[in-house]
């Protein structure tokens, strides 16, 4: 099956725009103390950034496990722990919120965890741009 370049470019822009919007909204919700909503929004941003990266290389991802495996494998290839573990970090976010609530730990821990995920999202965006530039040469 061949991929229509115009459709691909449109989808790449859509993924990036939505991912960036979700990331921004996620951090806004986090600052307002709506942690569960923040987690979902940042999860969505990471998912879309991963799908964008895969599509920039001509791969289409759809199933959640397929997306998780892609980012884990990419992190392994690049020896990037943050990238490899990004979905696992989000999986543990709820438990971290509970620990913060119960023990009075500072909220900095939550922001640090999500900063790691945000860093991965930004790396994926940058790498997608690099992939597209290389494809044009």
Q: Which of 52, 21, 26, 29 is nearest to 117 (CA)?
A: 26
pLDDT in tens, 49-85: 999 999 999 999 999 999 999 999 999 999 999 999 9
Residue 72 is inside which H or E element, if any? helix 64-78
As for how many domains the chain has, the answer is: 1
**pLDDT score, position 1:** 42
**pLDDT score, position 55:** 96
**pLDDT score, position 84:** 96
44: domain CATH number? 1.20.120
Alpha-carbon distance of 76 to 73, in angstroms, equals 5
- Give residue 102's pLDDT band: very low, low, confident or very high (50, 70, 90): confident
Of residues 123 and 96, more confidently modeled: 123
Of residues 110 and 10, more confidently modeled: 10
Query: Average of pLDDT values for 39-44?
Result: 95
Q: Is the dihedral of CA 130, 57, 50, 109 positive or negative?
A: negative
**pLDDT score, position 24:** 97
Give the domain range for residue 53: 5-136
pLDDT in tens, 26-35: 999 988 989 8
């Amino acid at each position: 099956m061949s991929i229509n370049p115009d459709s691909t470019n449109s989808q790449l822009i859509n993924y990036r725009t939505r991912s960036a919007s979700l990331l921004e909204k996620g951090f806004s919700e986090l600052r307002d103390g709506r942690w569960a909503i923040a987690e979902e929004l940042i999860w969505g941003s990471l998912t879309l950034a991963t799908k964008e990266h895969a599509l920039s290389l001509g791969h289409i991802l759809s199933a959640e496990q397929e997306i998780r495996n892609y980012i884990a494998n990419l992190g392994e290839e690049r020896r990037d722990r943050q990238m490899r573990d990004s979905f696992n970090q989000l999986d543990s976010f709820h438990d971290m919120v509970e620990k913060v609530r119960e023990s009075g730990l500072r909220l900095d821990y939550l922001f640090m965890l999500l900063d790691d995920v945000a860093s991965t999202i930004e790396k994926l965006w940058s790498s997608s741009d690099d992939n597209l530039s290389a494809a044009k040469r």
